[in-house]
Chain A
């Protein structure tokens, strides 16, 4: 049983706008899943629906086996949410607001635990400060401390590093890595591809209310490690010469271009022999290009493909 199971969830707002168009997704215990998508893709709506801030129009979501609508107490007590906006009461003191969050989730007072959380987030020295006295980065940490105060098993981080400087972003990644070590399942949304690359175990791509891809990051990375050699020919070919038939070549642009995919991490890429064989087969080269796949390419490719289909 996955930690979070989302089955065919749709969410239509009163205006008729469909923010989620039948999303299904399993999130496994202990993993870090990055949901990648442009602004307005439905990332926040998906998180809000899991956390109970909005109700799904149809479909079901379970957290730890509890349905988020019919067994909301069981589901919600497992979930911590760090919202995108810095929503904090400015006149309240750090310790008070964290204590409030713990109580709100039905947990008995445990100041020793709250001290550990605040120390972990370098907030302990600020515990008696008013929220309004803190910097933006510190406020974000307070939001995380509030979400962790009731010892959630699943933590949602909605754009944790949006509008945050580079140094703070690295800090945030360290915090997330630390949380994973303590066994928390983490789902974060981001539109920074490098962020997903840096910390996620799996990466999901969401756009226009649909999940386009969910894949292990390592599998994605293997695709990233691949390079393409594009060989432009003087005269177009209709079929590959038999000498080149088993080399994994692809014909593109009406036979004008041959595409060869190879792995840069291997000792021998086979480029030299390929070029030699091509000229031996009597084909004349006009130009050569190499191109590296990036997560961004995959992402942009998926999103534009979806838009073309629409």
Chain B
């Protein structure tokens, strides 16, 4: 294992993050505050409680998941797309490294950034609502796994994308709708039966549900199923990336 190379990629990617630290920090704080003003204060005052939890607190896990997923995807996809775009990918391809090391460097950095943003949002939320976390260890596990798996997905998107438009396409057309319809801002049990059934085909439901369980001990789906879903999703992404590097699809002629 070429640890030096993994470290080099990780440090290089993180330095980009630190260059724009203010932006990385301020933008999630502002957007989270806006969500609380709109959903928490304006709309939430008309919805008393969901499953015995104040609506403001109820949306916190979903809000974190929403940002973490989109940030993980955009960081990781940009991280690997940019070298392709400006041509510096030649260095990665001619270096004595394998696919796992490249992935560990890029995905590790993207996941770290997403994790940082998740923690910032959690901190900001605590300013607005009373939060109790019943299972802190499980909360952290879900958060880290989500950061990792969605960074893997972002990495695949970055390799697939042939231009900047395509880079935005999958997050915009697939991921954002799945996240919004995944129970980020409501409980699945609030939906009519038909939509409940349809919702269970949305993988994001399992992540948000599991994550919310770690806060309040309440879930739309059993916690074991949530873990299984995120585990399976991670493995699927890894398998796709392994295939990409094995065949050289979109990177090596």
Contacts and interface: CB of A to CB of B under 8 A. Distances in A.
B88 A88 contact: yes
B8 A104 contact: yes
Nearest to A19: B253
B87 interface: yes
B86 A87 contact: yes
Nearest to B105: A104
A191 to B, nearest CB: 21
A7 interface: no
Interface in B73-95: 82-83, 86-88, 90-95
**Interface size classification for chain B:** 20 to 34
Given A54-B253, A72-B96, A96-B12, A106 B90 contact: no
Contacts of B95: 76, 104-105
Contacts, number: 81
Interface string A210-238: 00000000000000000000000000000
B4 A106 contact: yes
B86 A106 contact: no
Contacts of A74: 96
B15 interface: yes
Nearest to B10: A103
Contact of B96 (A54, A55, A106): A106
Contacts of B12: 96, 100
Contacts of A85: 87
A272 interface: no
A73 B4 contact: no
A89 B86 contact: yes
A53 interface: yes
Contacts of B252: 53-55
Nearest to A75: B96
Interface in B238-253: 248, 252-253
By Cβ-Cβ distance, the 3 closest A-B pairs, closest first, are: A103-B8, A87-B87, A73-B96
A61 to B, nearest CB: 13
A105 B9 CA distance: 11
A75 B248 CA distance: 19
Interface in B179-200: none
28 contacts: A51-B94, A53-B252, A72-B96, A73-B96, A74-B96, A81-B90, A81-B91, A83-B87, A87-B91, A88-B88, A91-B16, A96-B12, A99-B8, A100-B11, A100-B12, A101-B91, A102-B8, A103-B7, A103-B8, A103-B9, A103-B11, A104-B5, A104-B9, A104-B92, A104-B97, A105-B95, A105-B96, A107-B4
